[in-house]
A = this chain, B = another copy of it.
Amino acid sequence: MMFDLSKKTKICIEKVKGVPGYVCRKIWKVGRDDPRRVIHAFKVGFSLTLVSLLYLLEPLFKGVGKNAIWAVMTVVVVLEFTAGATICKGLNRGFGTLLAASLAFLFELIAREYGQVFRAFLIGASVFLIGTATTFLRFFPRIKKNYDYGVLIFLLTFNLITVSSYRADDILKLAHGRISTIAIGCGVCILMSLFIFPNWSGEDLHYSTVSKIEGLAKAIEACVDKYFKDDETDIEIDETQEDPIYKNYKAVLDSKSTDETLAHHSSWEPRHSLHCYKFPGKQYVKVGAVLRHFGYSIVALHGSLQTEIRTPRSVRMLFKDPCIRLASEVTKTLNVLAASIRTRRHCSPEILTEHLQSALQDLNHALKSQPRLFLGPDGPNNTSKMLALVAATGRQRSESPLARKSTESPSFSKGTPTGAEKRVLRPTLSKLAITSLEFSEALPFAAFAALLVELVARLDIVIEEVEELGRVACFKEYKHENDVILDVPRPSREINITTPAGAE
């Protein structure tokens, strides 16, 4: 028992000893993931010290007095990670305070005429009314989205001044002190966020859009590679190792709220380009929505890798080339789009559709001419089926029935053929060696192909929206170079740009 206890203590001590290391690793990881976080932390510390000087330094304190504490509070609350968020909060706080002070002053003017008791009643009533109305106002979607913080501050300040006015002599001085110190706090915050290592929501949105498109491209590539590379033995491993593909597109699926927040904050940021009047946050949100829709198709494509019924490898191999070509064209187009956004330069409209069109036609052609889909009139015994592949392109090879997967569910073996069909067709089949393929086996491949084709259809919408983005965001003219540049998604001069990071 004694031994047991000491052992437990030892384990406990070991664990506690491990904590500092763990914490250090964690801190290092959070900082390394996005070094701007460290800079932002120092910015907040510095700003706080700066406004604290209002209180600590004698001459400054004489100017603002005890209200200096409001400046400190403002900095704590308003200084956010990106410039847009800070400006949004700062202006909301500023105008909310101003509006509330005006209204409170008006109430005070009315209440001043009456006696102490009636005044108390009036203050209570106004607090109730304004509190109820303001809270209800916050449920309006548009106000909630844009001015929620401002409304909150309005309510806060109004109550603060109205209630205080009951005991304070000079309400004007109270309001003035609060407003001026909050203005100082907001000013410090906005200056810090705009001029010292600024982080722009617009930039975050821009680069997160680029990385989302690249992620989708990678996901498609990985999906198609896996579909055609798979040996039959891989099936079990597949189901556990879905991460590499999922990882690439998952950021797109749940990007709605992040996108909208970034776009909203970016709408408060001053333009940071001489070319364009305003940052087109809304268009980025639209691109994000289209990408999300594109992503849903990839989810379905990914899902078709994991279906129970699998198309035989030999059949898949028959369509491998056109499918891989189509997928690589889609991937290439996505990378071109990503590069176009990244470099803020229009991309050539012809090249986007030219190769894609021909790849699509290739696949159509392959689907049309190569495989002869024939559901032979089989009896209840499946093993007598014949799978002979004739590739019209010249590589005529036929595979033995053994090559087919034998993991079919029993429900598949219920055909209703007539004897007559059997007798007439069998010789024809053997003579012509037509590709025989069960529809239920072709199903997963058909779904895969159809989803690929649909990806192209949706890619068209993505291209449209990205081109619209190019117009709205005043991208640079397309520079006509030889085609080589379009195969290189990331021009080397862009490498030194900071990687896009998680919002706020």
A16 within 8 A of B: no
For window 361-419 of A, CB contacts with B under 8 Å fall at 361, 364-365, 367-369, 371-375, 377, 392, 409, 411-416
- Among A162-170, A187-195, A278-286, A465-473, which stretch is in contact with chain B? A162-170
- Partner of A77 from B152, B296, B458 at Cβ < 8 Å: B152
Task: Evaluate contact between B440 and A128: CB separation under 8 angstroms.
Answer: no
Q: Which residues of A contact B (CB under 8 A)?
A: 26-27, 30-31, 34, 37-38, 40-42, 44-49, 52-53, 55-57, 61, 66, 68-69, 72-73, 76-77, 120, 123-124, 127-133, 135-136, 139-140, 152, 155-156, 159-160, 163-164, 166-167, 253-254, 256-257, 292-293, 296-297, 299-300, 303-304, 307-309, 361, 364-365, 367-369, 371-375, 377, 392, 409, 411-416, 421, 424-425, 428, 431-432, 438-440, 442-444, 446-447, 449-451, 453-454, 457-458
Task: Evaluate contact between B73 and A156: CB separation under 8 angstroms.
Answer: yes
Residues of B within 8 A of A40 (CB): 135
Q: Quick one: given A300-B296, A374-B374, A449-B443, are A368 and B438 in contact (CB under 8 Å)? A: yes
Q: Roughly how many angstroms separate A364 CA and B441 CA in the complex, as a whole number?
A: 10
Residues of B within 8 A of A156 (CB): 73, 76-77
Task: Evaluate contact between B139 and A37: CB separation under 8 angstroms.
Answer: yes
Task: Evaluate contact between B415 and A136: CB separation under 8 angstroms.
Answer: no
Look across to chain B and name the residue whose beta carbon is closest to the beta carbon of A289.
B254
Q: Roughly how many angstroms separate A135 CA and B166 CA in the complex, as a whole number?
A: 37
Look across to chain B and name the residue whose beta carbon is closest to the beta carbon of A440.
B367
Q: Roughly how many angstroms separate A432 CA and B374 CA in the complex, as a whole number?
A: 14
Task: Evaluate contact between B303 and A52: CB separation under 8 angstroms.
Answer: no
Q: Roughly how many angstroms separate A129 CA and B45 CA in the complex, as a whole number?
A: 6
Minimum C-beta distance from A265 to chain B (A): 16
Task: Evaluate contact between A409 and B48: CB separation under 8 angstroms.
Answer: no
Q: Roughly how many angstroms separate A257 CA and B431 CA in the complex, as a whole number?
A: 61
Minimum C-beta distance from A81 to chain B (A): 9
Residues of B within 8 A of A124 (CB): 49, 52-53, 56
Residues of B within 8 A of A135 (CB): 40-41, 44-45
Query: Can you list 14 residue pairs at the A/B interface with Cβ under 8 Å?
Result: A31-B136, A37-B139, A44-B131, A45-B127, A49-B128, A53-B124, A55-B163, A56-B120, A72-B159, A73-B159, A77-B152, A296-B303, A364-B412, A446-B446
Residues of B within 8 A of A438 (CB): 368
Minimum C-beta distance from A143 to chain B (A): 10
Q: Quick one: given A48-B127, A131-B45, A163-B56, are A303 and B454 in contact (CB under 8 Å)? A: yes
Minimum C-beta distance from A304 to chain B (A): 7
Minimum C-beta distance from A59 to chain B (A): 13
